[in-house]
Amino acid sequence: MAFWLINLSFVSQEKNKQILVLGLDGAGKTSVLHSLALNRVQHSEAPTQGFNAVCINTEGSQMEFLEIGGSEPFRSYWDMYLSRGLLLIFVVDSADHGRLPEAKKHLHQLIETNPIIPLVVFANKQDLGAAYHITDIHEALALSEVGNDRKMFLFGTQVTENGSEIPSAMQDAKDLIAHLAADMQ
Ligand code: G3D
Ligand code: MG
């Protein structure tokens, strides 16, 4: 498998549709994305400033992921990129109970603007003792209200020891994302 990582201070309007990776700052977007690319656990080294584009080649397909920084100044870009996104991956910190309402608000604002984009939610940091179980994350994010016509999937994920194999749920999520992306092309 080949991959490359590019940190960009801005991203031009590209032809290829991207898989958007959004969520509040600190949720684990970069860590999850780099782990999916490497098939090995890889924590992020620094908060994302701006955009982080990752291209992953799997058997027979190539997927372009675009993470947009989750801190306040970058959230204004979320809507702009969502309108031409293939899929939305939304990452939440399952142990950050206090910010789940904020994550829910942003998620619902996002999906309102795009009634068909498939949604894959990563309930991340499942390794932490305080993490909500995925059934509680489903409720906290009101995922039953994301729209009847939309494909929606929820995975519990964790990025633990650097270099270890990614958990099977993350491998399953990667396979599913490849299928969804192929369907949407
Ligand atoms: P972001 O891209 O959503 O902003 P990052 O988030 O990937 O930069 O991760 C934010 C912090 O959470 C990082 O720690 C990272 O190591 C940690 N993290 C990410 N995923 C997990 C996880 O599943 N479990 C645990 N325990 N920690 C995780 P630092 O210390 O660098 O801030
Ligand atoms: Mg990041």
Q: Where are the domains of the chain?
A: 2-184
Name the pLDDT band for 6 (thresholds 50, 70, 90).
very low
Alpha-carbon torsion 137, 142, 145, 146, what sign?
negative
Q: How many residues does the chain have?
A: 185
pLDDT in tens, 37-68: 999 999 888 888 889 999 988 777 789 999 99
CATH number for the domain formed by residue range(s) 2-184: 3.40.50.300
Quote the pLDDT of residue 15: 52
Q: Is 162 helix (H, G, I), strand (E, B) or coil?
A: coil
Q: At what angle do helices 168-184 and 29-38 cross, to 10 degrees?
A: 90
% of the chain exceeding 70 in pLDDT: 91
Q: Which residues have C-beta atoms less than 6 Å from ligand 1?
A: 23, 25-31, 43-44, 47-48, 70, 91, 124-125, 127-128, 158-159
pLDDT in tens, 139-155: 999 999 998 889 999 99
User: Which own/partner pairs from 78-82 qualify as long-range (CB within 8 Å, at least 24 positions apart)?
Assistant: 78/20, 78/22, 78/106, 78/110, 79/110, 79/113, 81/18, 81/20, 82/20, 82/22, 82/110, 82/113, 82/114, 82/117
Q: Cα(103) to centroid of ligand 1, in Å?
A: 16
Mutation to probe ligand 1, out of 21, 31, 89, 160 (largest number of atoms < 8 A from CB): 31
Mutation to probe ligand 1, out of 38, 43, 48 (largest number of atoms < 8 A from CB): 43
Q: Which ligand is nearest to the CA of 94?
A: 1
Annotated binding residues for Mg(2+): 30, 48
Q: Cα(49) to centroid of ligand 2, in Å?
A: 8
| Cα–Cα distance, 118 to 82 (Å, whole number) | 11
Annotated binding residues: 23-30, 48, 70, 124-127
Q: Global pTM?
A: 0.91
pLDDT in tens, 99-141: 999 999 999 999 998 888 999 999 999 999 999 999 999 999 9
